[in-house]
Amino acid sequence: MSLPMLYLVLVVAILFEVLGTSAMQAAQHFTRVVPTVTMVVCYAIAFFCLSYTLKSIPVGIAYAIWSGLGIVLISLVGYFVFGQKLDLAAMVGLGLIIAGVLVLNLLSKSSVH
């Protein structure tokens, strides 16, 4: 599989991880069946896709992208969907995570281009 396709699979992994984490919030300590099942299915798809990308993308790079962008996206979901507030320090921290992912992908020789 080509490298751009592997990164597309990584994006799918990130999106399913965010959906799974959103479902976890909605599951309310596993007391709601549909969100709980949704969470399990989404995490299974996310981990399958993440593991598939490890054929060619180094594990440290793939995981940094997956977790970093997942944190940023779930923070946005928390803000817009669940009404969870972000203070200035949280926004600066999220900006640093985005900067780190960009540095890994644009400047690092460890990343596969």
Q: Are 38 and 54 in contact (CB under 8 A)?
A: no
In a domain, 86, yes or no: yes
In a domain, 9, yes or no: yes
Is 113 a residue whose pLDDT tops 80?
no
Distance CA 8, CA 27 (A): 28
Is 93 a residue whose pLDDT tops 70?
yes
pLDDT at 26: 93
- Structural domain count of the chain: 1
pTM (2 decimals)?
0.88
Q: Are 97 and 66 in contact (CB under 8 A)?
A: no
Which residue range is the domain that position 25 belongs to?
Answer: 3-106
In a domain, 112, yes or no: no
What is the mean predicted confidence (pLDDT) over 87-96?
96
Interval 7-41: pLDDT, tens: 999 999 999 999 999 999 999 999 999 999 999 99
In a domain, 34, yes or no: yes
In a domain, 87, yes or no: yes
